[in-house]
Amino acid sequence: MDSNVRPETMARINTPELAKAFIDEQITKIRAQVGNDRVLLALSGGVDSSVVAALLIKAIGRQLTCVHVNHGLLRKGEPEQVVKVFREELGADLVYVDAVDRFLDKLAGVTDPETKRKIIGKEFIDVFAEEARKLTGVKFLAQGTIYPDILESHGIKAHHNVGGLPEDLKFELCEPVKLLYKDEVRMVGKELGLPDNMVYRQPFPGPGLGVRCVGAITRDRLEAVRESDAILREEFANAGLEGKVWQYFTVVPDFTSTGIKDGKRTDDWMVVIRAVNSVDATSATVPEVPYELLFKIRDRIFKEVKGVNRVLYDLSTKPLATIEYE
Ligand code: XMP
């Protein structure tokens, strides 16, 4: 478990049987590593931390404490799903922290994207550290490190999500999926019984919807991002595009446009629909999405999302555009 190099002899986990064998092996290893001590995990609800949580719950039950920080920048329904799956269904010891106001207050008026990322990253560490200090007897920190994170320690995750725990919080690491590729982590998650929409979800940036609410985040625009994103995901799923299009989301820029409603001019936000196909996020193409579907999404956004009078579809490939807007 201490090696960071995947042995050449290690079989690719591509069947439920191999996933099961991996789970059994890891349960033994985790129990041997952890003994009777407590383990702490920051559970975002993303694939990697969710799989590690489910694995540890199976191995050591309530010796694991999961901390879920709701920073207000998660997609619609995500914090609720984390509580439902981990606390209610898997019986986890889950600390749910509602830090929405705290994050949004810190972000108020901040326009620079990298400063926004830094604030979100730092605030996250601060909230997590505060929760960690409330617990006694924690010896281990579990993390959803996966093999690409080790191979590309200069890569996207490391580049964007900087930061570490403060000096007074020293834990030994428990990283049971660190030698697995993403598809293997999903296979293990599936075998552990996690829901499909958790296991097969599209890439989602650490700063979440915060980078899709362009410029200074306001609560009204953030809700427009969250609501339009939920509609887009639902309609893509209904159209059978889930898992076929690599990443899709909505963005709300920080300027308004003129519209007309009930004979009166309006001054409202616009929603940009972004959908891309990619292998590793270094380049991306734009899928041909049927107009019929786009019209349906537009109509729902007009009807259901407050403060929006315009919907656009982004045609930009990477390069020259990046996938996210900031
Ligand atoms: P860009 O916008 O650079 O995005 O083309 C490439 C991939 O990285 C994701 N992304 C992030 N992931 N923290 C993350 O964990 C971030 O700050 C961040 N910014 C972009 C993006 O969603 C895409 O999949």
In this prediction, residue 162 carries a pLDDT of 44
Residue 132 Cα to ligand 1 midpoint, Å, equals 28
Number of H helices, E strands in the chain: 11, 9
Q: Is the CB of 157 under 6 A from ligand 1?
A: yes
- 301: CA distance to ligand 1 center in Å? 25
Residue of the nearest CA to atom 14 in ligand 1?
205
Would you give the DSSP letter of residue 243?
T
Q: Does the beta carbon of 161 lie inside 6 Å of ligand 1?
A: yes
- What average pLDDT values come out for the chain (326 residues) when binned by 10 residues? 85 98 98 98 98 98 98 98 98 98 98 98 97 97 96 59 78 97 98 96 96 98 98 98 96 98 97 97 97 98 98 98 98
Nearest atom in ligand 1 to 249's CA: 22
* Cα 227 versus chain centre, distance: 17
Cis peptide before 55 (omega within 30 of 0): no
Q: Determine whether the shortest distance from the Cβ of 160 to ligand 1 is under 6 A.
A: yes
**N residues, the chain:** 326
Task: Give residue 156 CA to ligand 1 midpoint distance, Å.
Answer: 7
Query: How far, rounded to the nearest angstrom, does the alpha carbon of residue 303 sit from its chain's CA centroid?
Result: 27
Query: Is residue 20 in contact with ligand 1, taking CB distance under 6 Å?
Result: no
* Residue among 76, 7, 87, 21 nearest 54 (CA): 87
Q: Is 210 in the pocket of ligand 1 (CB under 6 A)?
A: no
**Which is it for the CA torsion 157, 159, 161, 165, positive or negative?**
positive
Q: Is the CB of 215 under 6 A from ligand 1?
A: no
pLDDT, residue 1, reads: 47
- The DSSP letter of residue 152 is T
Q: How many CA atoms lie within 13 A of 18 on its CB side?
A: 12
pTM for this prediction:
0.94
Residue 248's DSSP bridge partners are 275
Cβ–ligand 1 distance for 281 under 6 Å, the answer: yes
Distance, in Å, from the CA atom of 308 to the CA atom of 301, rounded to the nearest integer, reads 8
Pair 53, 41: CB distance under 8 Å: yes
Q: Residue 157's pLDDT is what?
A: 52
54 close to 193: Cβ distance less than 8 angstroms:
yes
pLDDT in the model for residue 156: 47
Given a contact cutoff of 8 angstroms between Cβ atoms, the answer to whether 309 and 266 are in contact is yes
State the residue for tokens 């996250």. 124
